[in-house]
Amino acid sequence: MTIRCAAPAGLAAVLALCCPPVAAGPAAPAAVPAAAVPSAAGVSRVDMEPRVDPCVDFYRYACGGWMANHPVPPDQRAWNRFAALTDANRGKLRDILSADAADALPADPADRAGRDADQRKLGDFYASCMDEAGVEKRGVAALQPGLERIAALRSATELPALLARLHQEGVSALFRFYSAQDSKDATSVIAVVDAGGLALPDRDYYLKTDAKSTEQRAEYLQHLQRMFGLLGEAPARAAADAAAVLDVETALAKASLDRVSRRDPVKVYHKLGRDELAALAPSFGWDGYLAAIESPPVSSLNVAEPDFLKAVDGLLRSTGLANLQTYLRWQLLHAAAPWLPSAFVNENFAFFDKTLGGAHELKPRWKRCVEATDDALGEALGREYVARWFDPEAKQRTLALVGEVEKAMGRDIADLGWMGGETKRRAEEKLAALANKIGYPDVWRDYSRLAVVRGDLLGNVERADAFALARRLAKIGKPVDRKEWLMTPPTVNAYYSAPMNDINIPAGILQPPFYDPGRDDAPNYGAIGAVLGHEMTHGFDDRGSQFDGHGNLADWWTPADEAEFKRRTACIADEYSAFPAAGDLHVNGRLTLGENTADNGGLRIAYQAYEASRTGKPRQTLDGFTPEQRLFLGFAQIWCSNTTPEAERQHVLTNPHSPGRYRVDGTVVNMPEFQQAFQCKPGSPMAPEKRCRAW
């Protein structure tokens, strides 16, 4: 019951939205992404709005046509190039899964035995999800055992075993327990106790007192009441239960760190011994919990937010058993809602996707089921996707491009005027240690221990979550698996991992408009080249720069260089904080600092790599655009987007990425190369006097 929008824990530096706003469009499978056929220049003119002056609003100039022609589909919160490509991929995955569900195996699978077992699981999982009539007929029976376990809770001493079971089944009640690389010793995997337990998108939704937040909390209370009502509670009881849930979650929210603080790796690292953990929250039986969740031996662990755990302890002492049971019942119901009969699915959609997210219609069932299967068996599904849809040559070409962009980054570091030689050497060491993972994993995940039962949707989702957690906990005390991926191959996204010091570029993004081997080089450098540069720069953004080349949280900066770096990133933070968004809000320049730094550095080194690649080649104007203009247009056109007002609000409040328009305009204003390419007069909006630059 993984909540789909949660980025994998510890995965801060993804390329796009942590939850790429999933797509809609026509129900036809494998729809071609709705983009115009590119010209010889590789730039889509129909997506542009040529009457806009590129020096006044480059985003609109590059994307105005796309925006006019691609309104947000009714079942989406937002629509953009990532979403459109995700939608097309989803159609391909449906073809695979429909065949698996019908037991129609492809003629020539390489490793027949293992793949057949996986394909059967994929088919059974997908078929169970698509069986809407069966789900309706079962009603809440699938939820009943969980509800009964909660109802049977008699005392606080029984809580650890119950909570462990809920955590295994994907219910994130009270706190989260998982494993991660030790920030100060990236060669070892340790246990982590982290904040959790909230159903709303962020702690601020519980705490802010402005009119919109107050209104959304009132709507949340109504939603809670209706959900309890669907479980059969009378209105007065449902209202009381809703209030109890909001009380518990508000107490947890008050003790949770805000999102900006959570970006600081020091603030979420507190390595404690078992006795210290017990002292922080003595009301909770940790030994019983660790045994019940089948954790390997834990002598020390990271308590990411000690104050949060103290608050949990306070809550356990002050909240009566009945209210705690109500809260747990809600958390179970909330996690299960998408897999229950339609009354629950629709109510869950009405609040979380419509009221908070601005979507007008529920996604067709097949899309939800493809996503669920990707969540549960993503590498089994990804293996089939790669075999059918990924061109091995794309991997080789991308690796070559990675090499060029890396070299450009090396030259960029060497040429930085503001950084001293000692820090540069350390930065170069870190860059040299960077690992590049392209397309799909070298070693596929083994799903042999995951049982999938045809006809038991909720059970399958719960078993998949239990399998994923067990797999993760089994890593505690073992050597780090450097071949592992945290995104599935069809994903249209990419990420950098600081503790691994690697970039990961799934097969799903190596397609137009990001990458097209048949088009001119310039837009490819501007699009996928800037994506590669973005991920590399994450190793050197305000957060990544605190980790060394071995993935350890260790300061490798001279004090003077560090002070100058902070001054430079503060310039970027202030720049983006001035951008208005979502009506009365502004972009949060501190929340988005890492992503904005990566956007700026990424485009600059992609530009430099492109210029280097052209040495000795003729300079060609294509379709009226110079090579540099094509590069900047290729960059801008991957960020074309439309967003509902509700989704934009949620994005600005919770997402570490800037909205699409500022990923373009906020980046190019800092590049004299852009102003030269479009001959912008100094002082025009895209050529301001003040520019920011870190890398």
Q: Which is nearer to Zn ion, 488 or 655 (CB)?
A: 655
Q: Which helix (H) or strand (E) holds 314?
A: helix 306-318
Beta carbon of residue 434, minimum distance to Zn ion (angstroms, whole number): 15
CB of 494 to Zn ion, least distance (A): 8
> Closer CB to Zn ion, residue 25 or residue 594?
594
Of residues 553-612, those binding Zn ion (CB under 5 A): 595, 598
The phi and psi torsions of 106 (rounded to 5 degrees) equal -65, 155
Closer by beta carbon to Zn ion, 398 or else 600? 600
- Of residues 15 and 492, the one with the C-beta less far from Zn ion: 15
Q: Cβ of residue 144: shortest distance to Zn ion, in angstroms?
A: 42
Instruction: Catalytic residue, from 124, 599, 628, 648: name it.
Output: 599
In the complex, minimum distance from the CB of residue 456 to Zn ion, in angstroms, rounded to a whole number: 38
Contact 466, 169 (CB under 8 A): yes
Tabulate helix, strand, coil % of the chain (nearest 5). Answer: 55, 10, 40
593: number of Cβ within 10 Å:
24
- Whole-number minimum distance, CB 657 to Zn ion, in Å? 7
Stretch that binds Zn ion, among 6-14, 187-195, 426-434, 450-458 (CB under 5 A): 6-14
Contact window for Zn ion (CB under 5 A) among 5-13, 17-25, 54-62, 117-125: 5-13
The catalytic position among 371, 535, 548, 628 is 535
Structure tokens at 368: 């939800």
Task: Judge whether 406 counts as a catalytic residue.
Answer: no
DSSP 212-277: HHHHHHHHHHHHHHHHHHHTT--HHHHHHHHHHHHHHHHHHHHHSPPHHHHT-TTTT--EEEHHHH
What single string gives the DSSP state of each residue in 93-143?
Answer: HHHHHHHHHTT---S--SSHHHHHHHHHHHHHHHHHHH-HHHHHHHTTGGG
Provide, rounded to whole angstroms, the least separation between the CB of residue 424 and Zn ion. Answer: 23
Binding range to Zn ion, per CB under 5 A, among 15-23, 156-164, 319-327, 604-612: 15-23
How many C-beta atoms lie closer than 10 Å to residue 451's C-beta? 15
Cβ atoms < 10 Å from Cβ of 661: 21
Cβ closest to Zn ion, residue 54 vs residue 529: 529
Total binding residues toward Zn ion, as defined by CB under 5 A: 4
Residue 599 is among the residues annotated as catalytic for this protein: yes
> Applying CB under 5 A, which part among 12-20, 160-168, 276-284, 452-460 lies near Zn ion?
12-20
Whether residue 490 is preceded by a cis peptide bond, meaning omega within 30 degrees of 0, is no
Beta strands in 304-403 (DSSP E): none
Q: Report the distance separating Cα 138 and Cα 226, nearest Å.
A: 20
For the CB of residue 274, give the shortest distance to Zn ion in the complex, in Å.
36
| 226 Cβ neighbours under 8 A, 6+ residues apart | 238, 347
Q: Which stretch binds Zn ion (CB under 5 A): 14-22, 193-201, 325-333, 686-694?
A: 14-22
What are the backbone angles phi and psi of residue 352, rounded to the nearest 5°?
A: -75, -35
**Which one, 135 or 494, has the nearer CB to Zn ion?**
494
How big is the CA angle at 172 (ends 166 and 173), to the nearest 5 degrees? 75
Nearer to Zn ion (CB atom), residue 373 or residue 569? 569
Rounded Cα distance between 539 and 388, Å, is 33
Q: State the residue for tokens 């390997």.
A: 296
Q: Which residues are catalytic?
A: 535, 599
The binding site for Zn ion (CB under 5 A) comprises 13, 15, 595, 598
